[in-house]
Amino acid sequence: MRATGPLSEAAAGPPSEPATEPAWLGSFELADPAVVAEVVRVVQAVVAAGGAVGWLAAPSADEVLDWLGGAMAAGTRAVVVRVRGRIEALGTWQRREGAVVARIGVVRRVMAHPDARGLGLGALVVHALVADARAAGVEVLTLACRGQQPCGVGAVRGGRFHRVRTPAGRARGRGAPLR
């Protein structure tokens, strides 16, 4: 199944694997051990598969909870996508600090469980994050990712972001005006 159009609309795919609309995480959800376990499952699997999402080795549940809880306490927004009722993808965005750059945001740590790749979940996550940032008044949004990460490649090919290279030759998404 590939995501197309609005967040709630998806192209036809196997009926046994419908993705739900993205859901925003809050402190209430992070107090639910089942939600935390599902987020940890995704993060650990992505890291174990070599995903560049901030850890060199699969993090413990406490490390994931510390990261996500701390990020959300600092104003980061986190979204998850469920498939058959289970969290299979997630991502975050945060506003830059300071009055001068408050209308600039960064999308980070977009990931899908390796077993759920190819379902268009990364696109659902990125679309939700972009829409939320736009609604929050963000004018320029940067997608932070490394090299050939599926989330970055898909967002660039989808026309949402423009690829630029850093002096060291690493690729990253250049902030693009939100329309």
Q: How far apart are CA 170 and CA 130, in angstroms?
A: 23
Range of the domain at 40: 23-177
Q: How far apart are CA 14 and CA 9, in angstroms?
A: 15
- Stretch (H or E) spanning 23: strand 23-25
Look at residue 10 and tell me if it is in a domain.
no
* Residue 65: strand, helix, or coil: helix
pLDDT at site 171: 46
* H-type alpha helices, 7-94: 27-30, 33-48, 61-73
Look at residue 65 and tell me if it is in a domain.
yes
Look at residue 71 and tell me if it is in a domain.
yes
Reading the block at residue 166, the tokens are 């850093």
pLDDT at site 9: 30
- Stretch (H or E) spanning 157: helix 150-157
Would you say 39 and 24 are in contact if contact means Cβ atoms under 8 Å apart?
no
Look at residue 81 and tell me if it is in a domain.
yes
| pTM reported for the whole predicted model | 0.75
Average pLDDT, whole number, for the chain? Answer: 76
Structural domain total, the chain:
1
For residue 43, what is the domain's CATH number?
Answer: 3.40.630.30
Look at residue 4 and tell me if it is in a domain.
no
Look at residue 131 and tell me if it is in a domain.
yes
Reading the block at residue 6, the tokens are 């609005």
pLDDT at site 173: 47
Look at residue 129 and tell me if it is in a domain.
yes
pLDDT at site 17: 54
69-122 confidence digits (pLDDT tens): 999 888 899 999 999 999 999 999 998 887 788 788 999 899 999 999 888 898
Ranges 12-26, 38-52, 149-163, most confident? 38-52
Mean pLDDT, residues 134-153 taken together: 73
**Dihedral sign of CA atoms 144, 6, 74, 104 in order:** positive
